[in-house]
Amino acid sequence: MEIKGVNALVTGASSGIGKAIAIELVENGAQVWGTSQEPGRIEWQTGVKPLKLRLDRPDYVDEAWESQSMDLIGFDIIVNNAGYGVFGRYEEVPFEVWEKQIQALLTGTMKLCRLALPGLIERRGCLVNVSSIAADFPVPFMSAYNVSKAGLSAFTESVIIETNASGMRTIDFRPGDMKTGFNRNMVRNLGKNVNEGCMGKVWKRIEDRSTRSPEAMMVAKKLIKCIQRDKSGTIRAGTFFQATLAPLLSRLVTRNLVRSGNIAYYTK
């Protein structure tokens, strides 16, 4: 796909991975719209046109789509990137918090796809849903995040199959750990003893890994190349270990072994 001159929408473009993708799209000559829940408080990159979007209820998505006439823009590329995490013991965190997490990452994102797909199919465009390595390797104490990302990957696979003959491309994009504001913005401290025992160890592991992670621009550049090369399907990005080796090894051994390795990695 030639990116120069196309219309692109990036959700969650105010920081991190979404911001890096928006910058790369602008650099490559696209007209870019980026979303934030509060676009007025963001210093937007040159060339990114702000839109307001909250994903945590499907009717918010409908409202944002209609009130900002997003259908009339005619997007050729849509990158569903916006999201956040909740860290806590499943039985201790209020159910409404988990529910909201799933609404934002999965149901809200599916709603946006529902609104955008007719236009994308008509223009033979490209849909990117940003899932995560968590769809392959669930992160302890992030149950609703794992559910949402695994569900989003399954949803994206369904879209790939359903639109196969249409000429549009769809990418299930699964980054590994990236150095962004993701951990800082994580909803946590809602249960007991979040910094102690097993939960403390897991959180420390997540934090340590994040500080050694690649910058968001690395995955943004990879994604743009994939869009330019008309790729469809699952694309992993990040360090060689997370994007290539771990997914490959996990296919060669039993599920029990993968699970034991995952538990040992986080808690030993």
Q: Starting at the edge strand that comes first in sequence, how are the strands of the sheet with 126-130 ordered?
A: 48-52, 31-36, 7-10, 77-80, 126-130, 169-175, 233-237
Q: Does residue 83 belong to the site contacting ligand NAP (CB under 6 A)?
A: yes
Residue 124 is a binding residue for ligand NAP (CB under 6 A):
no
81 binds ligand NAP per the rule CB under 6 A: yes
Site for ligand NAP in 87-116 (CB under 6 A): 104
CB of 136 to ligand NAP, least distance (A): 11
Identify residues 47-76 at the interface with ligand NAP (CB under 6 A).
53-56
User: Counting Cβ atoms within 10 Å, is residue 4 exposed (0-12), middle (13-18) or buried (19+)?
Assistant: exposed
Position among 6, 18, 70, 153 found at the interface with ligand NAP (CB under 6 A):
18
User: Candidates 67-75, 177-185, 190-198, 248-256 — which segment interacts with ligand NAP by CB under 6 A?
Assistant: 177-185
Element (H, E) at 232: none
By beta carbon distance, the residue nearest ligand NAP is 16
Helix, strand or coil for residue 129?
strand
Binding of ligand NAP by 180 (CB under 6 A): yes
Query: Does residue 129 belong to the site contacting ligand NAP (CB under 6 A)?
Result: no
The yes or no reply on residue 16 touching ligand NAP (CB under 6 A) is yes
Residue 86 sits in the site that holds ligand NAP (CB under 6 A): no
> What gap in Å lies between CA 85 and CA 144, rounded to an integer?
8
**Cβ distance 127 to 117 under 8 Å?**
yes
Q: What angle do CA 55, 58, 61 make, to 5 degrees?
A: 60
Structure tokens at 230: 């008309």
- How far apart CA 132 and CA 178 sit, in angstroms, is 11
What's the distance, CA 199 to chain centroid?
24
Choosing from 31, 132, 156, 163, the residue that interacts with ligand NAP (CB under 6 A) is 132
- Least distance (Å) from ligand NAP to the CB of residue 93? 16
Q: How far is the CB of 41 from ligand NAP (least distance, A)?
A: 8
Q: Which residues bind ligand NAP (CB under 6 A)?
A: 12, 14-18, 36-38, 53-56, 81-84, 104, 130, 132-133, 175, 177-178, 180-182, 185
